[in-house]
Every structure is written in structure tokens, then in C-alpha cells.
Structure 1
Amino acid sequence: MQEDFRLIVDLVSVLVAAASGGLLAGLLRQPPLLGYIIGGMVVGPAGLGLIKEVVQIETLAQFGAAFLLFALGVEFSFAELKKVQKISLGGGGLQIVLTILVTTLVSLGIGWVKSPAQGVFLGAILSLSSTAVVLKCLMERNETATPHGQVMLGILVVQDLALGLMLAVLPALDQPPEAIGMAIGQALLRIGLFAAGAVAVGIWLIPRLLRLLAKTESRELFLLGVVTLCLCIALLTEQMGLSIEMGAFVAGLMISEVEYADQTLTYVEPLRDVFAALFFASVGMLIDPVFLWNNWELILGLVFLVFVGKFLIITPLVKLFNYPLKTALIVGLGLAQIGEFSFVLASEGQVLGLVSRRVYLLLVGTTAVTLILTPFVLQVIPQLFNWLETVPIFKPYFNSMELPLEVAIDIPVQNHVVVCGYGRIGRNLVRLLNEHNSQIVVIDQSEAAIQKLREAEVPYVYGNAASLHVLEKAGVDQARSLVIALPDAMSTRLALKRALELAPDLDIVVQANHNRDIELLYQLGAKEVVQPEFEASLEMATHLLTGLGVPIAVIAREVEQIRNSHYLDLRPERSQSEIARDLQFAAQEMNSKWYGLPSDSPLVGMTIGQANIRSLTGVSLVAIRRDRGEEIDYPDAKISLEKGDRFLVVGQPEEQAAFNELAKGEVVIPESSTPCQWLQIPEDSLGVGKTLAQLDFRREYGVQVQAIRREGKFIRFPDETVELRAGDHLLLCGGSNPLNQLRQWIAPSSKMPQLAIPIIKVPVSEALQRFLPLDSQRND
């Protein structure tokens, strides 16, 4: 077979294997890159042996790494890098130094290497994490703009920059110390010269070139010009003794500050995705499954040591830079792998004689396994944290790390608007609300965003908007409205869910980051869900239809219908199985559980609206499976509950327990005509320190305690062992006269005259929805 045709066959074989593996991974709800790696293993020299010219495929695969980092540079601009410059430069640099130091000492101590130079080389390999894998996972989960995503990318950028320094120093590792110092000096000089040149080109040349390309109004010419620019800069860095990948990343950074950055990213993304698949498949081709199988115990031991060692180095470093413990844990777990560029170092080290063939294969195998495990680790982190929050031993640590880091002076206490997230959308909202003299409190956990709020004198709470303690500190329970404009879906869902725990009837507007999130956010209790892309379409259509002479009233009515239908007319058609898969995936990231409805349940025959499950228990019912096999995803309030139904509910463990009690009929639910009222327990109340069994309100007064709100937590259907504390808010349901008598006993009118008001007859569901202490309702 001709050589050039052989290359075409090999390239097609790799792409077919990557596409097949990616499709299989997608069907199994796993990241596609796992399929790309496994596909490469199958067709590689150690697998079926279909690929003959591995070197040529690896050369083409370098384009994948280059385009991946080029796109990262376009997205991760200098402005974004500045937000995390302390942790990226300081933390990233310390992480590399500490990893090399610890690895050198350990490997020398147990005899893995024979010289300090070999230990330094091994440490350099282990110090790098996978930019490609971590970036791909963050992009798929829409988490690149989250605090942990920015910290990870900042550290990864420093690691990628350090790769050029490592490659420059590598040949001198077996030389005298002065040779190593000379090599480091030369490498730093080259990096400095390149950085200075990149800044100059980025300021004076790149903008003019892109404007010239844009003037042609040719998509092909614009794409060709951008790709040529990227590869030329990448080749220049290669000639300077740095890496192609570093050059591609810097090229992206230069373009990121130009007005054509978004257009560039749109054009390059399809090319990037194809070559990235080729890159991951080439990584798979380096893996020898037989060697892995024969040395699986040793490799798994090495994988364990790598994950634990890097986690124990990175997590404290991130915490040292004043990031929340949860962010530090996510970053530590997310970067606890060996990067794909370590293959480059390992290959160079083998050529230079720094490692034997066996050690090289062990490094390749360990690196491959950590790359394969990383997407699973990042996927399981939310479930892991949800579980840890329920374990008594870990609960205090998670509660403490959810506390606000800082609260502005004189924040509003009631009738204000809480804005979660001070990104582009959050800033615009704050500016518009300020123009109408609205009281505002902003929640954000980015130090850069908080500094801007300090300078603008906007009231803020510095912390995680998904934390119950932070939301409580922002006064969500007394707020007029809440806006959630967070960059990742998981934090958005948690912030929505926990805000409704504090104020079930709060007006909440949520930004949906993806089409598939719209129905789930409505189901979790949002009053309004806004999808920016759809809103842009509606505004453009409004402008065009107005120009065509369509009456404004008609346009407004049609737009309102589309919004009321949750953008159903604009969303692409999706099968029921696709909707069910997305729902299951989203529910896995939250506290969710399937419950069977007993045949004798009092809920049988009621509609979801009549049962008022969210208000009574706090859970959200997001799916129903009928006995006859039908599944109803995102059921509306008119759906009736039937015998044999199974419910997928989302909520905290205590909320799920309350739902279980409700479904089994183990709690007494007042009828709709029964008066209910919230009552706050003062410090000098006779009930403080006594259990509900000792007080026995039901026998003495005929009054049932339906719920207790305590320190931001909602205890539904409390049992008889619960002890009352000062400051508790009790939801009491019973007759009007007994409620008045009980109220006078718990809080005598002489001590709290504001409580001696007539009790209004409201259903328990409405009382729960109001969820306000009695003293705040006295003026109603």
C-alpha cells in the first residue's frame, strides 16, 4: 500500500474508532473523551494493531491539543486570568515545586530512582495535570465560569507554561548544577522574550489583522486566517524550545482581547472538537492493555498514590489562598491526575536515559488510568458532597464552610431584591434596579466581584449563593424577590431549592444556562425562568415584526404566550426518552430518591396542587411512574396521584423523610378550613427547654405543631422528642380559641403585646407558603 494512502487509512480508522467510542460513551451517559481514549486503545499497536504509523497520527493529534488550548485562550482572557492571578501564579507555582520536592524525596527514600535528577524528572511528570480532560469536563458541565472552574484553569495555565521550562531544563538534568542553572536561565529568557513579543503583537498587529479578515465578509478566509495565525505562533514557540501547545494558548489569549473573539471561537470550535477527538484517541494508542493487565496491582497502587498525593498538596494550597473548603476540595479532586503532556516529558526522558522502558510504560499506564478516572471523579463530586453533608461527623465541617466570608455593613433587612451572581447579567440587573431606587443585596463568592461591589458601595454577602447560611444572611426570608444568575446549573438548582426552604412563596427569577434546565427549574419552584438565547430571539423577532407593520399588541400577546409555554415553541423537538435521561442525570446531582405511594395513602385521588407537597414537605416532585409503565416527567399541578405510583422527589434527607410520613398518612394534615398561625418562641417562654411530648399541645389545647423553623432549617412534622428553643418559629394548627389560649401561655401578652391579635383562618398550605413569623405579620 502506498505510504500516503496508508496515512489516510490510519486517519480514517482512528476517527471511526473515536466516533464509535464516543457514541458508546454517550449512550452510557459518560463523557465522550472516555470513548475516544478507549477507541484509540482498541485500534492502536497494543490493541488490534490497525494503526501502523503511530508517529504520524500523533503529529496530527498535536493539532487537537493546539486547537483545544487555542480555544481555551480565547475564552480564558487576560481579564479572567486576572481574577485568579494569585492562586494561579502563587498556588500553581507552589504546587509544582512541592510536587517535585515530595516526589524526589519519596522516590529516593524507597529506591524508585537512583539519583536526585531522576527524582526531579519524575516529580515534573507528576506535577502536571490534564488541561484537555479537565477543560472538556468543565465545558460539558458548564462550570468554566464557576469559582472552582476558574481556579482549576488558572493552575492549569501555569502548569502548561511550566511545561516549556521543564522541556528546556530536561537535557541538563544529568549535568553539573551550574549547567542546570544555565538551562533554567536560558529558558526563562526565552519565555520572557516570547511574552514581550506576544504582548506587542497582541496590541498592535492582531486587532488590525482580524479587522482586515472581517472586512472580506468571508467565513472561509476568516477561519483560514485565524488557524494560520494560531499555528504560526505555535510553530514559533516550538522553534524557541517551548511547546506548540503553549504557543496556541498564547495565540488564543491575544485574540481574546479583540472584539472578534466570540466570532473566532464560533468558527474554530468544530475544528477543535474533531482534532481533540483525534488527540484523545492518540493518547489511547499509547496505552498497552496487556501491560496494564499484567501490572494492574502496581498501576492501581500508583494511581492511588498519585490521586491522594496531589489531592493532599493542592487542597491545602487552595485553602491557603482564602478559598472556601468546598472549592478547595473540588479543585484538589479535579486536578489529582497526571496530564496528557506528561507523555511528552516521559518520552523525552526515555530518550535521554532518565527512565527505563519499564518505568516509562508504568508512567504511561498510570497516566492513562488517571485520565480515564478523572471524568468519573468530577461527575461523582456533587453526590459525594451531598452524602457527606448527611454524615454527622462531617456535617459541622460542611456547615462551617458554607458560612459567609464577609457581609457588607447596613444591608437591607426587608422588601429588598437579592441578586445571586455578579457576572455580566448580575451587573446589568443591579444597575437597572439602582436606577429605580430599589434596595439590593448581591451574593457572590468571587473576590474580584466583591471588590467591585465594595467600590460601587452596593450591599453584598461574600459567599456561596447555594448555601443556606449565606441566603439567610442576605435576608432571603424577608426579601421581595430573588434573582439567580449563576454560571453553573448545579449551584443554580441548589440556590433555588434552599431559598424556597427559607421563603416558600418568594418570587424567584432564574437564568437557565441550558434548554434542558428550564422545566426542572420550574418544577423546583421558580416563578420565572429566563433563557438568554430564547429571549434574544424574541427581542429580534419583536423588532422585525414591528418593522413589518404587525400591531404591537399582537406581538406582545404572542411573545407572552411563548414565555408562558416555557419557550416550548422555540425549543428543539426531543423524545420522551431524552427528556427522561436528562432528568435522571440532573436528579443524580441533587438529593433525590424514588418513593412508592402506598395504596392506602391519603394522597391517592388528590392532584399535586391539592396535595401541596412542596409547601408541606419541602420536596419537589419531578417525575411519576405509573403502574402501567407510563412515566410523567415534570408533572403539573393538575396531575392526579394514583395507587401504585412511584415518585422521583428532590429534597434534603429530612424533607424526604417528611414526604414519606405524608405519603404513608403518619402525620395529621389539617383540613383547609383549620386556622393555622406562625408563632415565635421568646427567650422567657415557659416552653423553652421542654419537648413536645412534655408540652402535649394536642391533648391540652387540641393544637398540632406542623413545622418548626430553627436557624434557617425547616423541621416538618416534628416528633415528640423535639425540644423547643428560644427563637423557634412554630406553625400551630387548631381551633381559634385554643390557638389564642396557647399563644398566651407560650408568650404572655404582657411580655409580647404584639402577639395578642386575632388569628386569621388560613389553610396550612397558605401558612406554610407565607412562612413568616407572627410578629412580622402584625401590620397585615
Structure 2
Amino acid sequence: MHAATPLISTISGGLVLAFLLGILANRLRISPLVGYLVAGVLVGPFTPGFVADTSLAPELAELGVILLMFGVGLHFSLKDLMAVKSIAIPGAIAQIAVATLLGMALSAMLGWSLASGLVFGLCLSTASTVVLLRALEERQLIDSQRGQIAIGWLIVEDLAMVLTLVLLPAFGDMIGAEHANTGKLLRDLAWTIGKVIAFITLMIVVGRRLVPWVLAKSASTGSRELFTLAVLAMALGIAFGAVKLFDVSFALGAFFAGVVLNESELSQRAAHDTLPLRDAFAVLFFVSVGMLFDPMILINDPIAVLITLAIIVFGKSAAAFILVRLFGHSKRTALTISASLAQIGEFAFILAGLGIALGLLSEEGRSLVLAGAILSIMINPLIFAMLERYLAKNETIEEQIVEEAIEEEKQIPVDLCNHALLVGYGRVGSLIGAKLHQVGIPVVVVENSRSRVDALREQGIKAVLGNATKPEIMEIARLDCARWLLLTIPNGYEAGEIVAAAREKRSDLEIIARAHYDDEVSYITEHGANEVVMGEREIANSMITLLNLDKEPATPRECPI
């Protein structure tokens, strides 16, 4: 009964080895992602010892992509998406074209056919969703303009790959036929674009009303399990429906599920509750990629591997850098986006597999794609580390502030002092802000949601777009002359970092923060907060107060039977 357990052995073997090698990588001061990839190589079919189920691992990894993209969608409004369309659409298309042409040039050198070169080049053109998002999350760039451009760019790449996956079989038929059927190709293209538009329209028109309503109903039951189940059911259900009904990718379906839920007050809770699952399955994604890699390609064809890697890391990055600069963005933004895109991932594997099935790509071609993916994912954290060192060395603090100001819509310090500096404008922050406005206390809000900042500015409230952990953002919000600092963000440990930085600059500042747990209260207090409010404790105190125990103390008495 217990002999055949491929699912359990794959998950347990992959996670245990990924944990051990991730710890080792962290000790060596390199990204844990490298440890996860090496773990995949070790449990894969090309190395001796334990071999995980190679058919199950990609499906488990796909779950990670779905949950990760859903979480990104929860922090990415439609307004944010439309704000970067002017650079994301032409930039992504041009960069795909450049990478494809470079791949075709390499294939011509290797003596492959034109069709093989086209498929190979397309495989090298699209970045990995998981790698890009993990890199941005680690550096708190998801909500920055740089992060939003990179994510918008990635979405356009995903859409382009969806069209490619649909059109490739028709292209393969044309190659094999004596007479090319251009009409069929055009009909397939129109049909695919129509389905993508239909899906996005359905999510915007129906989903943005239905999804928040379902989540609110689940929350009203008071059951945490039902709420979490509702979040997972919607993320996975919409992603699966997007694939089955509209032929778009799991990642794109999950992303738009998160986007339509973004407008709900429960979006932060949904993101928090799914975080452990997202992290676990994201690790399995990297393990599954490592399982596909045959290290012998490095010995058998090292020159081709190096050229493939150069196209991914330098060719794509150079194209992205030039395009972003042409659109008038700063060098810092261009370098960040270039580093984000200097790798390939899940769509490359899917496209290479389809190319082999259609007879358009050889096994050698797929091996080069996998080698390029593995190596580019491994060195991507190193590229970001080099970028951070370069920026730290070549930019003064003043230049960094100027760069951030350019990226964040040329923000300048607010012309206000003796104000309440309110960090976070969710459910708690908005209630505090409304009360302060009512009694006439000036407020400056720091928020990392562009849509919320725009809404506040339309109401005449001074708002700064950015992350409060960044000193330059707090300078723009005039921390130096604020009367109070009020932290309403749900992450207590992030609040502690903000408190520590603020206390270092202002020993006289009154700081009040929010927390969920006792350990968060201790952490924030130790870092310098004057008061820390824990929601559950305050609810209990309020309920005790309402009992009027001081006026009417309760005394036990005999209960008649």
C-alpha cells in the first residue's frame, strides 16, 4: 500500500534537499535559488542516487507559479498595469524580436534549419516569472515604478508566448505542407487574440465584482479555513478555467484573478494567508527546473552553451537597456529591468517541448535551452548583486534620491511640518486618516499602492508613493519635522525596521505602531516605538470596558434548578 508514493517522495525529497542546499548557499553568501537548482540536479534522472518523479515535479512547480502570480496580482491594480503599457508593450515586443534573431543567428552557425532557429530563438526571448518576481520581492521593488514596468513587460511576454504556443502547430503544418496555408495561420491568430481579449474583458467586467463578493462572503463566515480555501479555490480555479476555456497561460489567469481582487479590502489578508504555500511551491519550481538539466551538455558542447548564455544574459539585457533609455527612463531603471530579464524559464521549457513534438527542434536544441535556463537562473542573483554594488559605488546619496524621484513621478518633499506621518492607508490607516482630517490635524500618507496614492491626491491629501523603509521616501514625507509617526502596515517586522530608522533620526518623535502578535509588539517596542497597539488585545479591552465592571461588579449567585 505504501510502496508507490511518487507524489510524497517528490515533494519531501525535493524540499528536504532544497532546504539543506539553500542553507549551504546562504552560508556561502550566495542566493538560496542556486541551492534549489542544484538540489533539482541531484534528484534528477541524470545524476546517481535518489530520482524524483520527473512527471510530477513540473505540475507542482506550476502550482507555485499560479500562487505567485496571484499574489502579484493582489498588489498590482489595473490602473498600474495601464500606466506602464506605453513602454511594456513596444519594449517587450522589440526585445523578443532581438533575442529571437540572435538565437536564429546561433542556429545558422550550428547548421540548423530556419524553423529550428525560429523556435530556438523564441525560447531564449522570454524571462521566468518566478525568477523575476523573486528578485523584485527580495529587493522590495514590486511596487516601485521599476518593478511595475518589469512586471508589465513580463505580462506582454507571456501573452506573446501564449500566441506562439497556439500558432506553432499551424506553422509546423505549413513547413511540412507543399503549399503554405496562410489563411489558416491568420484565422488561428485572430481566434487566439480574440480569446485572450474575451478572458481579460470577462475578468474586468464580471470578475472584479464577483471575485471580491465571494471572498467577502467567505470572510463573513468567521472561519479562517474557509477564507483561505476561498482564496486558493479562486486562484487555482480561475487559472485552470483560463487555460481550458480561453487557452491562456496558468500564470496569466492567476495574475488577473489577483488583479480583480486588488480592489477588495481583503486583498492584504488574502496575500498573507497564501504566502507559505506560494513560497513552498516556488521552491519546487526551481527544483523541477534543475531535474531537467543534463550536466553532460557542458562537456559535450561548451562553446554553444556559452554563446546561448551570452544571448540570454547580454543580448536580451542590452536590448532592454537601450529600449528603456529610449523611452526616457533613468539609467537605474534601465539597469534594473535589464537584470530582471537576463534569464529564461518556464515558457522556454514548454516551447522547446512543443518544438520537439512538432519536429521543429532537435534534442540538441532543447539541451541548449535547458543549459541556458539553468545557468542564467543561477547567475541572475549575482547580476543583481553586481548591479547593487555598482549603484552604491557610482551614485551619491543625492543622486539616488534624484533617481528615485524621477522614477516616482518626480516627487518633491511635501511643504508641511508638524503633521501626522501615516504609513499605510488600508482599512486601519484610512480610518485614522479620516479622523485626523475631521479634527483638523494635517496628514501626510506614505503608500506603496499607486492607485491609493492617486485617489488620496485627488481628495487633496498629501501622499508620497514609495516604501517607507527607504530613507529617501521618508525624507520626501518630511520625517524631519513630523509631530507623529503612525504605522498601520500589517507586517510588524517591517514596521520595526521603519521605527528603528525613524528613531535614529528623531529621538523626540512620537511613534505609534500596529501589531498582530506578542512577538511583534516586543520587536517594535525594542526598536523604539512609544506605543504598540495589538488589535486582538484592544478588542478584548474594549469588550471588558463595555461590561461596566467597575460600576456593576458581578457577584456569583446560586442558579435555581
**Would you say same fold, with TM above 0.5?**
yes
Unaligned segments of structure 1, at least 5 residues: 553-780
CA-to-partner distance for each residue in 1:394-444, whole Å, 9 max, x for gaps? x886464255654679923x5455567767776555544433433455567
1:356 to 344, 362, 377: 362
1:401 to 403, 420, 436: 403
Asked if the contact 1:13/1:50 (under 8 Å) is kept, the reply is no
Asked if the contact 1:402/1:464 (under 8 Å) is kept, the reply is no
- Mapping of residues 489-504 of structure 1, within 5 Å: none
Partner of 1:19: 16
TM-score normalised by L of structure 1: 0.57
Asked if the contact 1:402/1:468 (under 8 Å) is kept, the reply is no
Partner of 1:626: none
Cα offset for 1:168? Answer: 1.0
Partner of 1:333: 339
Cα offset for 1:464? Answer: 8.3
Cα offset for 1:494? Answer: 9.0
Asked if the contact 1:103/1:120 (under 8 Å) is kept, the reply is no
Provide the rounded CA distance (Å) in 2 between the counterparts of 1:206 and 1:443: 28
Provide the rounded CA distance (Å) in 2 between the counterparts of 1:217 and 1:517: 24
One-letter amino acid of the counterpart of residue 529, structure 2: E
CA-to-partner distance for each residue in 1:467-502, whole Å, 9 max, x for gaps? 8877667665555556678899999969975x889x
Instruction: Classify the secondary structure of the residue corresponding to 2:127.
Output: coil
Partner of 1:651: none
CA shift in 2, pair 1:35/1:219, >3 Å: same
Provide the rounded CA distance (Å) in 1 between the counterparts of 2:60 and 2:139: 28
Q: Is 1:106 aligned with 2:102? A: yes
Cα offset for 1:362? Answer: 1.0
- Mapping of residues 548-697 of structure 1, within 5 Å: none
- Mapping of residues 370-769 of structure 1, within 5 Å: 370-378=376-384, 381-389=387-395, 398=400, 400-402=402-404, 406=410, 411-412=415-416, 414-416=417-419, 430-440=433-443, 448=451, 451-459=454-462, 477=480, 480=483, 507=509, 509=511, 528=529, 535-546=534-545
Provide the rounded CA distance (Å) in 1 between the counterparts of 2:234 and 2:424: 36
Instruction: Classify the secondary structure of the residue corresponding to 1:341.
Output: helix
Higher relative contact order (CA 8 A, sep 6+): 2
Q: Is 1:281 aligned with 2:287? A: yes
One-letter amino acid of the counterpart of residue 17, structure 1: G
Q: Is 1:63 aligned with 2:69? A: no
Provide the rounded CA distance (Å) in 2 between the counterparts of 1:116 and 1:195: 34
Provide the rounded CA distance (Å) in 1 between the counterparts of 2:34 and 2:264: 34
Partner of 2:558: none
One-letter amino acid of the counterpart of residue 339, structure 2: L
Q: Is 1:42 aligned with 2:42? A: yes
Partner of 2:249: 243
Provide the rounded CA distance (Å) in 2 between the counterparts of 1:471 and 1:220: 38
Asked if the contact 1:416/1:441 (under 8 Å) is kept, the reply is yes
Provide the rounded CA distance (Å) in 2 between the counterparts of 1:259 and 1:424: 7
Cα offset for 1:49? Answer: 5.7
Identity of matched residues, %: 29
Cα offset for 1:171? Answer: 2.0
One-letter amino acid of the counterpart of residue 279, structure 1: F
Cα offset for 1:226? Answer: 5.7
Asked if the contact 2:499/2:528 (under 8 Å) is kept, the reply is no
Partner of 1:195: 200
One-letter amino acid of the counterpart of residue 317, structure 2: F
CA shift in 2, pair 1:215/1:447, >3 Å: closer
Structure having the higher helix fraction is 2
Cα offset for 1:129? Answer: 1.7
One-letter amino acid of the counterpart of residue 194, structure 1: F
Instruction: Classify the secondary structure of the residue corresponding to 1:98.
Output: helix
1:91 to 83, 87, 92: 87
CA shift in 2, pair 1:83/1:334, >3 Å: same
1:155 to 153, 156, 167: 153
One-letter amino acid of the counterpart of residue 535, structure 2: A
CA shift in 2, pair 1:454/1:269, >3 Å: closer
Instruction: Classify the secondary structure of the residue corresponding to 2:346.
Output: coil
CA-to-partner distance for each residue in 1:568-612, whole Å, 9 max, x for gaps? xxxxxxxxxxxxxxxxxxxxxxxxxxxxxxxxxxxxxxxxxxxxx
Cα offset for 1:191? Answer: 1.4
2:305 to 299, 305, 311: 299
Cα offset for 1:126? Answer: 2.8
Q: Is 1:186 aligned with 2:186? A: no
One-letter amino acid of the counterpart of residue 252, structure 2: M
Cα offset for 1:162? Answer: 3.3
Cα offset for 1:546? Answer: 3.4
Unaligned segments of structure 2, at least 5 residues: 175-179, 552-561
CA shift in 2, pair 1:42/1:511, >3 Å: farther
Asked if the contact 1:444/1:462 (under 8 Å) is kept, the reply is yes
CA shift in 2, pair 1:466/1:226, >3 Å: closer
Provide the rounded CA distance (Å) in 1 between the counterparts of 2:318 and 2:521: 38
Give the paired residue count: 534
Provide the rounded CA distance (Å) in 2 between the counterparts of 1:459 and 1:212: 34
Provide the rounded CA distance (Å) in 1 between the counterparts of 2:379 and 2:228: 35
Cα offset for 1:344? Answer: 0.7
Asked if the contact 2:88/2:149 (under 8 Å) is kept, the reply is no
Provide the rounded CA distance (Å) in 1 between the counterparts of 2:530 and 2:23: 28
Instruction: Classify the secondary structure of the residue corresponding to 2:296.
Output: helix
Provide the rounded CA distance (Å) in 2 between the counterparts of 1:69 and 1:55: 23
Partner of 2:373: 367
One-letter amino acid of the counterpart of residue 435, structure 1: Q
Provide the rounded CA distance (Å) in 2 between the counterparts of 1:199 and 1:448: 16
Provide the rounded CA distance (Å) in 2 between the counterparts of 1:402 and 1:219: 39
Cα offset for 1:348? Answer: 1.1
Asked if the contact 2:69/2:255 (under 8 Å) is kept, the reply is yes
Provide the rounded CA distance (Å) in 2 between the counterparts of 1:209 and 1:450: 27
